[in-house]
């Protein structure tokens, strides 16, 4: 079985992204609940839509910030369930 990686992501609305994986599946993921429920100066700035939209994909991972201030396990993204991060 091939390792699952993020290949592409697009902003949809609010704090949500559509995320595609190398197996040609995708998930619509709302990051807002996670960011609201885990207050931290490193995360709080991504409540601002303009900063939230500045995500990137590096080495198959979806991240925010120059130093990966915010990132999620690929398993949680693939499942579309950020509660797996807790």
Where in the chain are the domains? Answer: 6-85
Whole-angstrom CA distances from 55 to 1, 43, 62 are: 28, 13, 7
Please, which pLDDT band fits residue 84 given cuts at 50, 70 and 90? confident
Using CA atoms in the order 55, 12, 82, 6, what is the torsion angle rounded to 10 degrees? Answer: -50
Q: Nearest 5°: CA angle at 80, between 7 and 86?
A: 115
Q: Residue 8 pLDDT > 60, yes or no?
A: yes
Look at residues 69, 82, 75, 86 and name the one whose alpha carbon lies nearest to residue 31.
82
Mean pLDDT calculated for residue range 1-5: 82
pTM, to two decimals: 0.90
Mean pLDDT calculated for residue range 14-32: 97
C-alpha to C-alpha distance for 56 and 24, rounded to whole angstroms: 19
CATH entry, 6-85, from 1.20.1330, 3.30.70, 3.40.50, 3.30.2020: 3.30.2020
């Amino acid at each position: 079985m091939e390792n699952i990686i993020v290949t592409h992501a697009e902003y949809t609305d609010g704090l949500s992204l559509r995320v595609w994986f190398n197996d040609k599946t995708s998930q619509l993921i709302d990051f807002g609940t996670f960011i609201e429920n885990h207050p931290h100066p490193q995360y709080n700035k991504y409540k601002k839509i303009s900063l939230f939209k500045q995500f990137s994909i590096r080495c198959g991972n979806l991240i925010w910030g120059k130093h990966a201030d915010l990132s999620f396990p690929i398993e949680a993204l693939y499942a579309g369930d950020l509660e797996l991060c807790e």
